[in-house]
Structure 1
């Protein structure tokens, strides 16, 4: 029988791709009956695929954009409503079961059209009659509970569920003869309870907190169903219920503290080894999605809000607080169990119980987009704690993220490049951010393996995160840091990064960012790229042009900021650039135009040098400061390179006079005096002093 209906489903699927082919009454009947529990799981899985294709085809028959909303749902509703309502009123248990099972499945595939059938006048009353007439049938009871569970996930349907039906669900959730019925009823109660609280919150009212004990009782029930290795039929329902309940910080703590439960839960994710192709699964047809959601909920951090966002959130809470409430101004209403420290502790417990193995296995087991995005979010949350990163790498977390990202980003036209930033939403950027965090704190070999091609493949997603309009400042900072690490691996990596369309333009803007860490990261990336890419070397001053001189001016300015790491990176880039005669000419022109360039170089060696323009001012910046050895080394190399690239005697004398006039000669002499015999500063300093001496400057001291 299963083979016969599978063949019929294949025919319907094939016909659904032909827009001119109309769905016959026979086709509709076959599809509706294909969800009967009497059929094998493979049949019902295929039925989901066919139903999804049929619904998509019906949506596409609405040709105008304005008809894509409610009219599309109406088209699906009209296709199935007559048969479904007719079967619900039938006297045969199998026919009733077919209608209930199909309507529950339709909620999963296209909830708007399913809701129209569920809300149709008289349907809910018929369902109540079915419960009364077939009270002894466990199959009917489970189908009704499952349908009410699906409907209760949507506000409009939840609003019409009667108190009698809630009472029936409570009774079924307490019975012990059939665990599957018990689980389905419990999930429906969870959705009704959670939904009611969410509905109250939307209108700014208070919801009663009397459901705490009920929630904990439901958690105990569902944990027991997960732990029962002898009955797996109710596992999916139990996992779905826990996925809903695990948004509550109290429940998160209860679940995270039970290591044996977590191990049992994670072992339910199927393990695939080798190159076996994953399968696209309907998330609710398998516990995989629910397990990933539970992990994500348990390790989810509160959103990081900026000052303005935090103030708006506070005002909203105050507006929703009851008038005269004493608590309104006393606290922010946040549960302390949801703070960062509790999240970190839960994350470590998850990792210790095998959560990362389960997440990696989920990516291998299914190519469901919903599952993979949830895995990316979960890994991002776990990786937030640096103590977890090594364990995530050991478990194959980086490879799982690379697999997820590869599916999210369309193939580019050429390796390491992309002419257009792909359209991604915030959730699709999260797996890239997780990979970036790993690439920041571990060596590229640990993250991407010994194959350099994998490292090159990572350049594009990191570049996308850096340039994407939806990325926040933290994501851009982490993209910069990760790309800096990659660029340090080889000249080829640096060249590929520099050739990503639009990347250098974005980096140049971020060098001027007010946020110190972002500015520093952008400067460090440029420092690496200048050393590893001829194109970037020329762009930032290595060639003689007004544009290159302008970019060189930015690098010189970064040598004068208050942040030491930024100055180290900028002066390192400048030392490399000044090996080019063209860059030296650009710098000399900047000195002539603004009179500051040489003073900035001098302050790298001796921070107490005061530029001529500031001698008469009250600005005593840097007086009595200690020189940083890294800046001193870079500063003397910059000056030495700058000096030796001028051959015209007249120009040499002019430069030497300017240098001596701002106190650089004295600074170089002091650098020699304060250096030890093996210091790398000695040789370039001696060469710089020799050049000054040959240019007519007297060296004393």
Structure 2
């Protein structure tokens, strides 16, 4: 049975809309109240908003919470003293003190009342210390003057108390900055020494999160000050303990940064011997004790030192006779010592002299370790062998590098747990021409490598190794002159006993095939994702990989489909110092290669034309670059100039003088590309007028050069010049200048007898006939036997419809002017 609702009855929809409206209004009022409560003069208005919200939603929990907060604020009061403020905010955690500190006048009043000293008093209480330090840190973010106050009477007791709380540890670098201007150098030195001693003393015994805070503060302190004068051996040793290979990655990374900065400071102040002393004494202490735990830690720290400073580490390596002790370390019954020793030797053999010594004495030892029961040791041994014996051929190398590389590839494709180790070894193996094809042909391995980068994009060492592999297998051989090749052969003959085994340079066809494997692995979309995480080294590798892949024209379309242009634009957009200029060059070269092959309409969405033109203009204007780079830039700009006048005008503005210089280049390829670019540029009316028709002597000389170039030996150059003149003869002034200067040049295309040249010649002739004001001189030239004969023969030598149409127009104009019957 149907029922009819009355007009005043509410439908479920209207009830819902009403509820939503009330909820929105209540939320709006509470938000407004929260904002107004932070201003002394608006607190009454804030209370009115809360009361209105309470009327809309009686008993609502959000309204009740807002009211409690407001009442707490009212009890605290905005005119409270600094002492009472600290007491209330530290004792009552439900009060949001930031609301009051955001008010500048309140902060200034608290500073005037000596709030820093009040906080110092609270540090002495175990129950209040955490809250007091948090308050000071929050205050310092808004007003650094509180640290000025606090640091004035900073003493060793304060440092010890601050160090018990993570927030306090974070304050040390900022406090240290404040004591720089202390009048007493001795006092300043004592405080710094106390901070360093306190932080380093805590390191061995605190939990990991606190370790991170301490190491981060130490890194900042070393960057700010020369704290090396305050360092004792136990301070350095406590940092070295954090380099233990069993520690979490974040802690090892932070400790590595601290040690790296420390070594840098010691070298800057000519105290390298002190650095050697720290490490040598540390090693001797652990070695004498023969304690497995200490040995793992000290071997781990030496491994990192090799990564930081190869020379210092090598000196200590030889001083401590680590090569002589290789058997004791690598055959140690403790598996952790054995793993740590392998880590050390893998890094040590990166130094050529140590590599030669190690490989000459360790073959039997490594052969036995290859069969170890521990999988990590087996893989680590494979990596060590590849690094130590790399480059040795024939009987000089007792190991099969193919087999070792295959083992490492297998461990990655099967999701082995030690993929970082395997990648490290393959990064070295892939530099060997004999192994590049082996590595690149395994498509499942390359795909697994790409997947690892996707899964661990922030894992710096792993990503660096993976990118190195891709870069090695896709890199083309550097082209050398015959003289350079001869010098290289003589050098190798003098240095290598097995010179007869030396490999010939790889062919471009080999590299091209490997690049195809890399492209199919799907690396390109991943490269753009990792750029923001890493240093210039990573960006260089990305740029090199993309440059190699783009060297094959067939790859350029798929590259653009996979988003290469967005990655290249990111590379260009990142901040670069002067030392990174080559990164911009190689990135711009890749953009040039892509714009040679693809229409600007395809590339514009990912790489705007103005961006492409700017980087190509930079290449063209750099006279230190090779002619092939200049040639590719010219061809790419020619393609861009075919699009519209905006592109043409921008190219001319940035590169015209350089293009003109290259039009005179002895290299016919450069000269040809310059002419073809100008041919596209003069389509723009503004360029044609400003460069050739402004009546100046410079414009006149430019036209004379074009007329001379109609007779150059290179056919494509003559064709391009014919195109330029075909456009320019559409202007009356150009036609008059040609009649005055060199009409013979206009008839030169007829000597080629090629349809495209005949077309250009007849177009120029037609334009001059129609546009010149010097008809008498023109007709006098055309009626000569030589000229009329050449024109007639040219018109009879073609069957091309396009050419014949223009010939018909020329004949018509000549008849109209009664030059011919």
Question: Fold conserved (TM > 0.5)?
Answer: yes
The alignment status of 1:16 with 2:218, answered yes or no, reads: no
Task: Give me the whole-angstrom Cα distance separating, in 2, the residues matched to 1:677 and 1:516.
Answer: 29
Counterpart of 1:406 in structure 2 is: 573
**Of 358, 372, 386, which residue of structure 2 is paired with 1:161?**
358
Counterpart of 1:142 in structure 2 is: 339
| TM-score normalised according to structure 1 size | 0.78
Q: Please, which moves more after superposition, 469-478 or 345-354?
A: 345-354
**Of 738, 749, 756, which residue of structure 2 is paired with 1:630?**
756
**Of 470, 479, 485, which residue of structure 2 is paired with 1:304?**
479
Q: Which runs of 5+ in 2 are unaligned?
A: 1-206
What do residues 584-608 of structure 1 show as CA deviations (whole Å, max 9, x unaligned)?
A: 454445x2xxxxx32121122x21x
Counterpart of 2:628 in structure 1 is: 474
**Residues 523/84 of structure 1: CA separation in 2 closer, same or farther (3 Å cut):** farther
Task: Give me the whole-angstrom Cα distance separating, in 2, the residues matched to 1:638 and 1:27.
Answer: 85
Larger Rg belongs to: 2
**Residues 345/93 of structure 1: CA separation in 2 closer, same or farther (3 Å cut):** same
Counterpart of 1:437 in structure 2 is: 593
**Of 679, 688, 691, which residue of structure 1 is paired with 2:802?**
679
Task: Give me the whole-angstrom Cα distance separating, in 2, the residues matched to 1:692 and 1:321.
Answer: 81
Matched positions, count:
613
- Secondary structure of the equivalent of 1:348? helix
Q: Is the 8 A contact 1:577 1:583 kept in 2?
A: yes
What displacement does 1:125 show? 4.7
What displacement does 1:459 show? 1.9
The alignment status of 1:516 with 2:668, answered yes or no, reads: yes
| TM-score normalised according to structure 2 size | 0.67
Task: Give me the whole-angstrom Cα distance separating, in 1, the residues matched to 2:278 and 2:560.
Answer: 50
**Residues 191/314 of structure 1: CA separation in 2 closer, same or farther (3 Å cut):** closer
Q: Is the 8 A contact 1:477 1:521 kept in 2?
A: yes
**Residues 106/321 of structure 1: CA separation in 2 closer, same or farther (3 Å cut):** closer
Counterpart of 2:819 in structure 1 is: 698
- Secondary structure of the equivalent of 1:436? helix
**Residues 72/526 of structure 1: CA separation in 2 closer, same or farther (3 Å cut):** farther
Q: Which runs of 5+ in 1 are unaligned?
A: 63-70, 198-206, 273-277, 411-421, 592-596, 608-624
| RMSD value, Cα | 3.5
What do residues 488-522 of structure 1 show as CA deviations (whole Å, max 9, x unaligned)?
A: 2221122222222xx33332232223333222111
**Of 310, 316, 325, which residue of structure 2 is paired with 1:111?**
310
**Of 208, 214, 226, which residue of structure 1 is paired with 2:400?**
214
- Secondary structure of the equivalent of 1:119? helix
**Residues 368/677 of structure 1: CA separation in 2 closer, same or farther (3 Å cut):** closer
Counterpart of 1:385 in structure 2 is: 552
**Of 68, 89, 98, which residue of structure 1 is paired with 2:297?**
98
What displacement does 1:147 show? 0.9
**Residues 210/313 of structure 1: CA separation in 2 closer, same or farther (3 Å cut):** closer
**Of 746, 761, 767, which residue of structure 2 is paired with 1:601?**
746
Q: Is the 8 A contact 1:643 1:688 kept in 2?
A: no
Q: Please, which moves more after superposition, 395-404 or 476-485?
A: 395-404
Counterpart of 1:35 in structure 2 is: 243
Q: Is the 8 A contact 1:466 1:480 kept in 2?
A: yes
Counterpart of 2:254 in structure 1 is: 46
What displacement does 1:689 show? 6.2
- Secondary structure of the equivalent of 1:269? helix
What displacement does 1:100 show? 1.5
Counterpart of 1:455 in structure 2 is: 609
What displacement does 1:146 show? 1.0
**Of 496, 507, 517, which residue of structure 2 is paired with 1:339?**
507
Counterpart of 2:209 in structure 1 is: 3
Q: Is the 8 A contact 2:327 2:365 kept in 1?
A: no
The alignment status of 1:639 with 2:765, answered yes or no, reads: yes
**Residues 96/450 of structure 1: CA separation in 2 closer, same or farther (3 Å cut):** same
The alignment status of 1:182 with 2:378, answered yes or no, reads: yes
What displacement does 1:8 show? 0.9
- Secondary structure of the equivalent of 2:651? helix
Counterpart of 1:68 in structure 2 is: none
**Of 509, 530, 534, which residue of structure 1 is paired with 2:682?**
530
Task: Give me the whole-angstrom Cα distance separating, in 1, the residues matched to 2:800 and 2:410.
Answer: 73
Q: Is the 8 A contact 2:356 2:388 kept in 1?
A: no
- Secondary structure of the equivalent of 2:712? coil
- Secondary structure of the equivalent of 1:17? helix
**Residues 654/297 of structure 1: CA separation in 2 closer, same or farther (3 Å cut):** same
**Of 777, 794, 801, which residue of structure 2 is paired with 1:654?**
777
Q: Is the 8 A contact 1:432 1:461 kept in 2?
A: yes
**Residues 474/74 of structure 1: CA separation in 2 closer, same or farther (3 Å cut):** farther
What do residues 458-510 of structure 1 show as CA deviations (whole Å, max 9, x unaligned)?
A: 2222223333344222222111111111222221122222222xx33332232
**Residues 425/155 of structure 1: CA separation in 2 closer, same or farther (3 Å cut):** farther
**Residues 79/699 of structure 1: CA separation in 2 closer, same or farther (3 Å cut):** farther
**Residues 428/668 of structure 1: CA separation in 2 closer, same or farther (3 Å cut):** same
Task: Give me the whole-angstrom Cα distance separating, in 1, the residues matched to 2:448 and 2:319.
Answer: 42
- Secondary structure of the equivalent of 1:217? helix
**Residues 532/101 of structure 1: CA separation in 2 closer, same or farther (3 Å cut):** farther
Q: Is the 8 A contact 1:575 1:638 kept in 2?
A: yes
Task: Give me the whole-angstrom Cα distance separating, in 1, the residues matched to 2:635 and 2:503.
Answer: 33
What displacement does 1:440 show? 0.9
Of Structure 1 and Structure 2, which has the larger fraction of its residues in helix? 2
**Residues 123/308 of structure 1: CA separation in 2 closer, same or farther (3 Å cut):** closer
